[in-house]
Amino acid sequence: MTGKLYAIGTGPGASDLITVRAARLLAHMDIVYAPAARKGGDSLALSIVREYIGSQTEIKERHFPMSNNTEEKQQAWQAVTDEIVSDITAGKKVAFVSLGDVMLYSTWVSILERLPDGLDIEIIPGITSFALIAAKTKRPLAMETQSLVVMSCTVGKEILAQALQQHSSLVLMKAASCLPDVKALIEELGLLDYAVLVSDASLTSEKQYRNLKDIPADEKLPYFTTILVNKQWSKS
Amino acid sequence: MTGKLYAIGTGPGASDLITVRAARLLAHMDIVYAPAARKGGDSLALSIVREYIGSQTEIKERHFPMSNNTEEKQQAWQAVTDEIVSDITAGKKVAFVSLGDVMLYSTWVSILERLPDGLDIEIIPGITSFALIAAKTKRPLAMETQSLVVMSCTVGKEILAQALQQHSSLVLMKAASCLPDVKALIEELGLLDYAVLVSDASLTSEKQYRNLKDIPADEKLPYFTTILVNKQWSKS
């Protein structure tokens, strides 16, 4: 008997936004790994999928440091990878769950790049936060000859400005950390009517701003904050 | 009693890649609209979700011309919109199903932009073809400071070249129509090892090319052909 690893995207937050395939698979796992941002903290990804997990399943919440300490991160990722490999080698059916889609800005890729060749791996895609935000705000991502860029604040102001000028639509992930800069840029380009901001989409803490100018100066926006700009769609 | 309209993304093709929310909603609709590419032809979106549709549901397959005749398209879209509005006004629960995610290169947006204000509309996001392709080929879309561009062949060769140079990852939708150009470009930039092509992902007609050079010169690739390039990931 050989084990198998399933990487499962949980989608943005609501439990019923996972795929039917993911829900069915989770009922039959031996072990489910879930990343937690804080040591001893609860895993958001786990809370999303908990209702689908079978009663026979062992749950392993593992801490993934969000720090800028590269060595600490590498060690944490390697330790989880080793543990997963050992479980699969022992013949277990193992799932690793992660928010949104596992192939886009996801902890899963830090595991994937460390896995040895020859393991049986299946990846189940998930709904991205920006697909949900487009749906909630009724603002298309792209049509016909339009193009869409997806990036996070970490690219820096210049690349962000260039992307806003060259493409019809922009999705900016983790937007809280550069909000003053990006707000100024969007206003400068005359795009305030074309931008929306959503935090924690489909979680109980969800917040929406249809106009970036309505965000109070002292507002502390959470980590999962996304801005969507579609330069050809101001109707809301 | 007022009606409501649900726009539902079916995902890329496999029936179990729709969301749990979409599956549950489809069991309770009065009417399901599905776009068909050919007159009198079967709707691919409908075939994906058929197993979830309740027995009380009326199915309305409607032809959406793919032609370049703008007037013909506009008339077809307006006619379907009018029919949907009339059903909602009569108090019906109506779903419109469409492939992939409904807010990205989808017929749904042609309906959305024609709908009058004040209707009760809920949009359910779907898995995009490129999320599935990344999953199947084990090639991440983007990580950390990387950026992702999504476009279709219609943008033209120059914009495509610029995007490939400026961003770490590129998703090119409907890639069959410009395959010789894009293949040449990818080779010129030394990116052959970083590109994959997938047609009809998760349909029975699915085809994968891990190297674009393996595609026979006389190969007729289908409409749903996507190329994914991740300049920082050659491991497959």
CATH number for the domain harbouring residue A109: 3.40.1010.10
**Residue B15 maps to a domain:** yes
Judged by CB atoms closer than 8 Å, whether chains meet at A105 and B142 is answered as yes
Tell which of A91, A124, A157 closes a domain. A124
Looking at residue A68, its pLDDT comes to 73
Identify which of B125, B141, B150 has the shortest CB distance to residue A135: B125
ipTM of this model? 0.95
Note whether A102 contacts B: Cβ–Cβ < 8 A. Answer: yes
- Tell me which chain B residues have a C-beta less than 8 angstroms from the C-beta of A14: 21
Judged by CB atoms closer than 8 Å, whether chains meet at B135 and A142 is answered as no
One domain, residues A111 and A58 = yes
One domain, residues A68 and A160 = no
**Under 8 Å CB-to-CB from B201, ≥6 apart: which residues?**
B12, B13, B129, B132, B133, B136, B224, B226
The number of folded domains in chain B is: 2
Looking at residue B236, its pLDDT comes to 57
Looking at residue B1, its pLDDT comes to 65
**Contacts by B156-162, CB closer than 8 A, 24 or more apart:** B157/B181, B157/B185, B159/A147, B159/A166, B160/B185, B161/B185, B161/B189, B162/A166
Judged by CB atoms closer than 8 Å, whether chains meet at A134 and B17 is answered as no
Percent of chain A with pLDDT over 70: 99
- The pLDDT tens digits of the residues spanning B4-18 come to 999 999 999 999 999
One domain, residues B116 and B26 = yes
- Tell me which chain A residues have a C-beta less than 8 angstroms from the C-beta of B143: 105-106, 109
Note whether B196 contacts A: Cβ–Cβ < 8 A. Answer: no
Indicate the pLDDT class of residue B234, thresholds 50, 70 and 90. confident
Q: CA torsion A180→A182→A187→A191, rounded to 10°?
A: -150
Distance from CA of A128 to the nearest CA of B (A): 8
The token duo for A83 is: 């543990």
Tell which of A74, A104, A124 closes a domain. A124
**Under 8 Å CB-to-CB from A96, ≥6 apart: which residues?**
A5, A6, A7, A8, A32, A33, A34, A84, A102, A108, A111
One domain, residues B71 and B120 = yes
Distance from CA of B216 to the nearest CA of A (A): 28
Indicate the pLDDT class of residue B38, thresholds 50, 70 and 90. confident
Judged by CB atoms closer than 8 Å, whether chains meet at B152 and A162 is answered as no
Report whether A200 contacts A13 (CB < 8 A).
Answer: yes
Provide the sign of the torsion angle of the four alpha carbons A17, A22, A24, A30, taken in this order.
negative
Give the mean pLDDT of chain A: 94
One domain, residues B119 and B136 = no
One domain, residues A143 and A111 = no
Most confident of A158-162, A221-225, B17-21, B150-154: B17-21
Looking at residue A81, its pLDDT comes to 97
What's the mean pLDDT in A60-87? 91
Q: What is the CATH number of the domain that holds B189?
A: 3.30.950.10
Judged by CB atoms closer than 8 Å, whether chains meet at A19 and B24 is answered as no
The token duo for A159 is: 């690349």
The token duo for B147 is: 């950026």
DSSP A10: -
Looking at residue B230, its pLDDT comes to 96
Judged by CB atoms closer than 8 Å, whether chains meet at A147 and B143 is answered as no
Looking at residue B206, its pLDDT comes to 95
**Residue A235 maps to a domain:** no
**Residue B235 maps to a domain:** no
Note whether B163 contacts A: Cβ–Cβ < 8 A. Answer: yes
**Could you list the residue range(s) of the whole structural domain that residue A150 is in?**
129-230
Identify which of A17, A132, A154 has the shortest CB distance to residue B144: A154
Helix (H) or strand (E) holding A137: helix A129-137
One domain, residues A43 and A80 = yes
What's the mean pLDDT in B207-229? 93
**Residue B26 maps to a domain:** yes
Note whether B31 contacts A: Cβ–Cβ < 8 A. Answer: no
Give the mean pLDDT of chain B: 94
Tell which of A124, A159, A184 closes a domain. A124
Note whether A80 contacts B: Cβ–Cβ < 8 A. Answer: no
Q: Provide Rg for chain B, Cα atoms.
A: 19
Span between the terminal Cα atoms of chain A, in Å: 54
Judged by CB atoms closer than 8 Å, whether chains meet at A141 and B104 is answered as yes
> A-contacting residues of B 108-127, CB under 8 Å?
109, 112-113, 121, 123-127
- Tell me which chain B residues have a C-beta less than 8 angstroms from the C-beta of A162: 166
Mutation target vs B (from A73, A77, A103, A109; most B CBs, 10 A cutoff):
A103
Note whether A158 contacts B: Cβ–Cβ < 8 A. Answer: no
**AA letter at B141:** L
One domain, residues A90 and A29 = yes
